[in-house]
Structure 1
Amino acid sequence: MVNDAFAPADLGPVRLRNRIVKAATFEGRTPEGLVTDELIDYHLAPARGGVGLTTVAYLAVAPEGRTHREVIVVDDRSAAGLARMAEKIHETGAKIGGQLGHAGPVANGRSNGVHALAASRMPSPLSMQMIRSATEADIARITKDYVRTARIMVDAGFDVLEIHMAHGYLLSSFLAPGQNRRKDSWNGSLENRARFARQVARAVREEVGDSAAVIAKIGMTEGSPVGFSMPESVEFAQLLESDGHLDALELSAGSSLLNPMYLFRGGVPLQEFAANMPAAVRLGMRTPVGKKFFKSYPFEEAFLREKALAFREAVSMPLIMLGGINERATVDRAMAEGFEFVAMARALLREPDLPNRMAADSDARGICIHCNQCMPTIYTRTRCTVIEPQA
């Protein structure tokens, strides 16, 4: 039986009104590291526009796990604002999810005032500092941080917890053999490299039980020879499924430090990115090496579909497909091919009410032109910069 994307569906213990997910993408609306009215309005737009679930991005589990200092750290200081946001989203009939993340090597240690962590010591292109290798004590502490964060979020009314295991963040920095150069039991076999991520998933599930859905965002490939990639990523998904702690996997790709455009197909706004970067990073981006870092990939509808199908064949647990989903026909095809949910990001930034249009019209398609001019705005309030009348 083919799923109806616009009928109610269960994500673990949580009932969603449909199978459309607003993916976690950086909002740029927390200048003091706290929930703001602007952040709530940002998520109210797709919630009112018809998504079943909207996901708040980059909720750091620890201060050094922020991408930069304006990111929310989930703690007693931010809990009241998170609860207020959850209440507002629930009033629309949508559910709310939060992305539990530790940015690891993607964190800007200079902005955060504390050095970033990774599986192995490495230089940071963001802070121009050395990123230190996580110790056994760090791993134990951060696992507890994930648990504490999960409890606060559930108590605040969040329905879904998304553990970030992709994009070069801390947990995924352990996965890639080209980045994990440790000499201890956290390196070697895939089972060893995956142990931290699996440990976090187990600890979070044990803490929240069935009071929330627990999912993970994983990277199918980072698009780099030294990054985590298929077929090991498929084996990683199978390990997560065998553990039984997760209700779904969201299938992503790319790496914030190795190949960021692999996930954002379409235009490459290099000049706009450079204008928002620190001076040293801006200078580096103007070199041939910097330009090569932002590779160009043409946009194609559902550009991660073929890779996602390999995961669909390998595991039976629910999967969330993302990557260039703009048309109702693509949503219907994803359901026919066995995916339980689809996630959208740029299309909803351009048109927050696109899910309602899709539900009403089988021929509906979004008007996002995939110029990616929205990407540099993450530093100044994420938004669509294209102003044009709807057709």
Structure 2
Amino acid sequence: MTDIFTPARLGPITLRNRVIKAATFEGRTPDALVTDDLVEFHREVAAGGVGMTTVAYCAVAPGGRTDHHQLWMRPEAVAGLRKLTDAVHGEGAAASAQIGHAGPVANAASNRVPALAPTRMFSPLSMKVMRSPDEAGIREVIAAHANAARLAEESGFDAIEIHFGHNYLVSSFLSPLLNHRRDRWGGSLDNRARMAREIARAVREAVGDRLAVTAKLNMEDGRRGGLTVPESLQVAAWLEVDGALDALELTAGSSLLNPMLLFHGDAPRREFAKVLPGPARWGFRLVGRAFLKEYPYQEAFLLERARHFRRELSMPLILLGGITNLDTMNIARAEGFEFVAMGRALLREPNLLRRIQSDASTRSACVHCNACMPTIYTRTRCVFRPDRTMLTLEETPQL
């Protein structure tokens, strides 16, 4: 019928199929450590049939979190993470840890640690000026990624996904809109790409060929003056030549400047305004329409951009964005993408893959309303899905 559901190699590991649960911040670590709630979230997705689930997001340092509730990689986190990976493995799936530094997307006021950006800039999140790291500070960030990778291996993960997207720290260094440095880390594209390349090599050296190593790379920022597809293609080509990565997951947009380019569908402005704290709420009412733009939903909405990468690169690629049914998965495979990644559809139906395997005509119940986006502040979930255990194959959520 299709090879989507046959085993596939990802670097040194074999996944039971070609479907990966994409990193979608879970909001289930109130003390910055793994909870039973987070374990169950990923166990349920694994039981639902994916080849691998991605834990998002494992910050490499306290200041690399978007807020102080977020998990960050340290020895105290290993026991909980091991419980999580054991649960995922018990359901027959692999587990990937998404590691990274939020950079300008970090909330310094919440973390009580200065946020980092390539060059000094004002943060609307913390209402403070962000710090631009010097050479020693950049070296600390690179070393922190390697350390996080080692801790992920100790925790039983099968793979590492390095966050090079959405104007988090590495992505902000890639962006000419945000990176105005005049040293070896800014200016030319090869300078702006230096951090991504060095982090990829450091992570590979940390885990060797024991774990798969992937990266989530912005194809474009979606803002005038930001990273463009041709520039990202060159960065991807350099990463391929370096040989540190087993695959690239292709994404787009900016959590800082244009988040809806990643999501497409309805822009949940009213829902966001309700959950933001007072000052941010009033600011959002003023700029919300410009910040959350309208991008009509369609299946495989990042495919057109991703085709450029597939034509130019030989390394495995993971297609993300609007993957909700078997027809779209087959299109991705026919166009040469080795894996597909699913996010919102699995929030609605964690067992969607099992249902598709049972009936190839199955369609996702996700309506792309994006009301799940603001739930990251409380506990990431589909607002239409009952908060209970695994749905049976026969059950399909209805509005």
Aligned residue pair count? 389
TM-score for the superposition, normalised by structure 2: 0.95
**Contact 2:60 2:144 survives alignment (8 Å):** yes
Q: Which of structure 1's runs of 4+ aligned residues deviate more than 4 A? A: none
What does 1:178-197 align with in structure 2 at a 5 Å threshold? 178-197=177-196
**What is the Cα deviation at residue 387 of structure 1?**
4.9
Quote the residue 1:350 is aligned against. 348
Structure 2: segments with no counterpart, 5+ residues: 387-395
Structure 1: segments with no counterpart, 5+ residues: none
Structure 1 SS opposite 2:56 = strand
Structure 2 SS opposite 1:150 = helix
**Contact 1:3 1:336 survives alignment (8 Å):** no
Quote the residue 1:206 is aligned against. 205
**Contact 1:24 1:55 survives alignment (8 Å):** yes
**Structure 2 residue 294 is matched with structure 1 residue 300:** no
**Structure 2 residue 361 is matched with structure 1 residue 368:** no
| CA deviations over 1:258-290 (Å, ceiling 9, x no partner) | 101111111111121122222221111111x33
Structure 2 SS opposite 1:84 = helix
Quote the residue 1:99 is aligned against. 98
**Contact 1:179 1:227 survives alignment (8 Å):** yes
| CA deviations over 1:29-54 (Å, ceiling 9, x no partner) | 00000000000111111100000000
Q: Distance in 1 between matches of 2:274 and 2:107?
A: 17
**Contact 1:221 1:253 survives alignment (8 Å):** yes
**Structure 2 residue 325 is matched with structure 1 residue 332:** no
Q: Distance in 2 between matches of 1:236 and 1:147?
A: 20
Q: Distance in 2 between matches of 1:155 and 1:284?
A: 43
Structure 2 SS opposite 1:69 = coil
**What is the Cα deviation at residue 190 of structure 1?**
1.1
| CA deviations over 1:152-174 (Å, ceiling 9, x no partner) | 11011100100000100001111
**Contact 2:34 2:81 survives alignment (8 Å):** yes
Q: Distance in 1 between matches of 2:304 and 2:2?
A: 20
What does 1:275-294 align with in structure 2 at a 5 Å threshold? 275-287=274-286, 289-294=287-292
**Structure 2 residue 65 is matched with structure 1 residue 66:** yes
Quote the residue 1:232 is aligned against. 231
**What is the Cα deviation at residue 296 of structure 1?**
1.0
Structure 1 SS opposite 2:98 = strand
**Contact 2:348 2:385 survives alignment (8 Å):** no
**What is the Cα deviation at residue 305 of structure 1?**
0.7
Q: Percent identity?
A: 56
**Contact 1:266 1:298 survives alignment (8 Å):** yes
Matched AA of 2:53: T
**Structure 2 residue 128 is matched with structure 1 residue 129:** yes
Residue 89 to residue 387, structure 1, CA distance change in 2 (3 Å): closer
**Structure 2 residue 87 is matched with structure 1 residue 108:** no
| CA deviations over 1:138-196 (Å, ceiling 9, x no partner) | 11111111111100110111001000001000011111112111111111221111001
**What is the Cα deviation at residue 125 of structure 1?**
1.0
Q: Distance in 2 between matches of 1:290 and 1:89?
A: 38
Quote the residue 1:52 is aligned against. 51
Quote the residue 2:173 is aligned against. 174
Q: Distance in 2 between matches of 1:207 and 1:3?
A: 36
Matched AA of 2:329: V
**What is the Cα deviation at residue 3 of structure 1?**
7.3
Structure 2 SS opposite 1:140 = helix
Q: Distance in 1 between matches of 2:334 and 2:230?
A: 24
**Contact 1:3 1:335 survives alignment (8 Å):** no
Quote the residue 1:33 is aligned against. 32
Q: Distance in 1 between matches of 2:132 and 2:277?
A: 24
| CA deviations over 1:337-366 (Å, ceiling 9, x no partner) | 100000000000001111112223222221
TM-score for the superposition, normalised by structure 1: 0.97
Matched AA of 2:256: L
Q: Distance in 1 between matches of 2:131 and 2:62?
A: 15
Quote the residue 1:13 is aligned against. 12
Structure 2 SS opposite 1:205 = helix
Structure 2 SS opposite 1:326 = coil
Structure 2 SS opposite 1:132 = coil
